[in-house]
Structure 1
């Protein structure tokens, strides 16, 4: 908690500098979201990956992560509020230097986007990830179509979450391997799945189709979720780093994944002894809220993290929780 408060305070001068340079005010909602996300994300994710390389996240890297969350919040507003067309979204994301700004928000996006571009070393690879993320963001409009297939939902979910997190790698001055890049992508996909699990009620009210709000059995979906976690762990075990660093990395990853599992444990309780969940759209909001301050849910997170990482004490193969490598289609049938 102290680290989060410290990070939140650290970015205030950065906001002042940005606003002074542009002569504009950062929208309050974007400011609040960027500070909150940054203060959680740096210690929980960035420091996790930089620790593999024997260090913590630098001040310069932290600044880039804050700019990233400003861009992310503004882009979500452009897309959700439909203030920019698909063509404009493509231009402002891929070609910010030549984009003709019409609003203060667009000027802020271009300014922070160019600051981010300036720290990227492998620009060709970075642009490829940007394009994949843009495609996923535009395709997410299909999630309002009840006829969308589960396989297409899965592709959008993984691409949106995975490529969003992959972008962060380019803002950190660390070397990487193919296995490490897989870890970035799959962790992003797991975070997106977790967000969707916590947003089931909100998404149902908005008419948004997600993998979690289509689930028929929480037990089967937990197996699906853990199969994705297992894929992440398979890449983790192949990383060319010392065991001590990999174990700390594994523990951090498991802690992040534990939030999704805790949501599923709550849904399994709702399912009780039945082989299927009640129809999710019929449940009141309070039934779908997961209070992470409850001791029981904190314990669930701790237990999950321990079970997924305890193998490392013996340096043997990981304990396999009840997981099967089944496709999502099989889990919702």
Structure 2
């Protein structure tokens, strides 16, 4: 992928971002503010941005708009965009119930099935109820989504096992693979498509890579919270990066084996490279940590400045461009 093509992909992502943000503003922001006022709940600035920007925009741009390239080229329709946005907002709130309010999968299932008698209905839980009611009144998802939703919730809750210092590396990798992979499949079932088995594998593998990217960027926060991720378990940073690249190659192989057109296959590889290239930026920043803190890295001794990736810096942005071009050729 040359520089001109790279600019083209970033420009495409930018305009898709503006379109999704406009859609959220028109269809969801007023609804959320009104419900929050009724529940006497105030979003923090960070929570509001996560709820109305990060979760839905990533779901649409890095997920659904890529998934549809596996089919005949087309754009998301209005109903698909509504379902994806609503469910991604609910997913963020469900994550908070699990991570912050210690909800179990069975409780979330009861919430979504409207069995409320024994549930601790916090404002966030009531927001989920309101969103779910609005979704089913106007843009009811297919039953296959409902089944996949329960699988995704189960694995999201299983991620709490990563707080156990005794968890094995194999368990960490399984949870990482299933948590985001099953969630990606859940979102794909909100599209008006029938997916082949190979297409499902592409979607799930892209979710796994997304989780690996997230783990590289959240390492400082994860260390402080006691969350165990693959970065802390591999014997070296080279081994961690090699593992990531091997999983990327698996994704590319699956894309090549799909029935998408040759042009769409290349578009999909390049678009995913724009998303997953961030991991290589993190590995580039971490490259000197072994010399300073030993091998394997004593992550708890590293500073925030060493572990947090600052994408506002131009050298880091240039590194991202190199990383994307590298991934697109693997």
**TM-score bin, normalised by smaller chain:** 0.7 to 0.9
Give how far 1:268 is off. Answer: 2.0
Which sits farther off after the overlay, 190-199 or 81-90? Answer: 81-90
The structural deviation recorded for 1:71 is 0.9
Deviation at 1:23, TM superposition (A): 7.7
Q: After superposition, what is the alpha-carbon deviation per residue over 1:22-46, rounded to whole angstroms, capped at 9, x for unaligned?
A: 9846752444212212234423332
The unaligned stretches of length 5 or more in structure 2 are 1-13
Distance 1:108 1:201 in 2: 30
Counterpart residue number, 2:140:
119
SS at match of 1:81: helix
**Is contact 1:61–1:172 with CA below 8 Å preserved after alignment?**
yes
2:43 counterpart residue number: 28
Contact 2:269–2:328 at 8 Å: present in 1 too? yes
TM-score by length of 2: 0.83
Match of 2:23 in 1: 10
Residues 1:150 and 2:173 aligned together: no
CA contact 1:71–1:112 (8 Å) conserved in 2:
yes
Distance in 2 (CA, whole Å) between partners of 1:103 and 1:299 is: 44
1:66-81, aligned counterparts within 5 Å?
66-81=85-100
For residue 253 of structure 1, what is the aligned residue in structure 2? 272
Q: Which moved more, 1:182-191 or 1:97-106?
A: 97-106
Alignment of 1:1-333 (within 5 A): 1-15=14-28, 16-17=30-31, 24=38, 27-29=42-44, 30-37=47-54, 38-52=56-70, 53-82=72-101, 84-93=103-112, 95=113, 97-100=114-117, 102-116=121-135, 119-121=140-142, 123=143, 125-271=144-290, 276-310=295-329, 319=330
C-alpha distance in 2, partners of 1:86/1:239?
A: 34
For residue 72 of structure 1, report the CA deviation from its aligned partner.
Answer: 1.2
Q: Which 10-residue stretch deviates more, 132-141 or 295-304?
A: 295-304
Quickly say closer, same or farther: Cα 1:281–1:13, change in 2 above 3 A: same
Q: 1:213 to 1:108 in 2, by over 3 A?
A: same
Q: CA-to-partner distance for each residue in 1:118-163, whole Å, 9 max, x for gaps?
A: 5333x2x434422322222222222111111011111111111111
- Give the Cα separation in 1 of the matches to 2:104 and 2:292: 48
The one-character-per-residue Cα deviations of 1:186-244 (angstroms, maximum 9, x if unpaired) are 11111111111111111111111111233331111111111111111111001112111
Structure 1 counterpart SS, 2:288: helix
- Kindly state the Cα deviation for residue 285 of structure 1 after the two structures are TM-superposed: 0.8
> SS of 1:119's equivalent?
coil
8 Å contact from structure 2 (residues 145, 190) kept in 1: no
Question: Judging changes above 3 Å, is the alpha-carbon distance between structure 1 residues 276 and 7 closer, same or farther for their aligned structure 2 residues?
Answer: same
Alpha-carbon contact 1:200-1:288 (below 8 Å) kept? yes
TM-score calculated relative to the size of structure 1? 0.82
TM-aligned CA distance change 1:227 to 1:87, over 3 Å: same
Shift of 1:73: 1.8
Q: Which range moves more in the overlay, 46-55 or 223-232?
A: 46-55
| 1:242–1:110 distance in 2 versus 1, CA, 3 Å | same
Q: Number of aligned pairs?
A: 307
SS at match of 2:175: helix
Match of 1:330 in 2: none
Partner Cα distance (2:92, 2:48) in 1: 9
- RMSD between aligned residues: 2.7
